[in-house]
């Protein structure tokens, strides 16, 4: 599984192209959640496509990660980008969208916050939902243990 730096080393000409093409994005692959709210959560980078919460950093109760904004140019998630979050911790973590009102359709609900249990993995994709003439960017996801 390459990171963007690996693709640049192999001759990919553009850092943006390498970041968007690499399965692992730009890294780092580990992340430390913080707080329990959208405002206090640790932000996942726009090209940080695969992150894992290590057991040693999430042991004091639920903490939060925040997904990147959708359609924010090079600084945000593009439609159909693939984000994978793994929780190796011993407590659940909260996964928030970066804006209240943008939902994550996953685990039988469509909320701006989802809970990822210990030793589970969540795969998320930003999509464009069209309903009643308006278009809204939302997230869809699936969870597996």
Residues 119 and 135 in one domain: yes
Residues 91 and 111 in one domain: yes
Rounded mean pLDDT, 28-57: 86
| pLDDT, averaged across the chain | 82
Residues 136 and 83 in one domain: yes
Strand order in the sheet with 63-66: 42-43, 63-66, 93-96, 113-116
- pLDDT of 79: 86
pLDDT tens digits, one per residue of 79-88: 888 999 999 9
Residues 23 and 39 in one domain: no
CATH assignment at residue 71: 2.60.120
Domain count, the chain: 2
Residue 8 predicted with pLDDT over 90: no
Beta strands 134-144 and 104-106 are: parallel
């Amino acid at each position: 599984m390459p990171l963007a730096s690996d693709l640049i080393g192999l001759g990919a000409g553009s850092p943006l192209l390498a970041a968007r093409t690499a399965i692992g994005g730009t890294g780092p692959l580990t992340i430390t959640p913080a707080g329990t709210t959208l405002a206090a959560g640790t932000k996942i980078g726009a090209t940080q496509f695969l992150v894992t919460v290590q057991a040693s950093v999430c042991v004091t109760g639920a903490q939060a990660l925040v997904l990147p904004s959708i359609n924010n140019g090079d600084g945000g998630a593009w439609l159909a980008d693939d984000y994978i979050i793994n929780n190796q911790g011993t407590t659940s973590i909260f996964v928030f969208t970066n804006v209240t009102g943008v939902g994550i359709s996953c685990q039988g609900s469509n909320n701006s916050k989802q809970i990822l249990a210990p030793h589970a993995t969540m795969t998320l994709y930003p999509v464009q939902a069209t309903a009643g003439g308006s278009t809204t960017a939302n997230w869809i996801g699936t969870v597996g243990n």
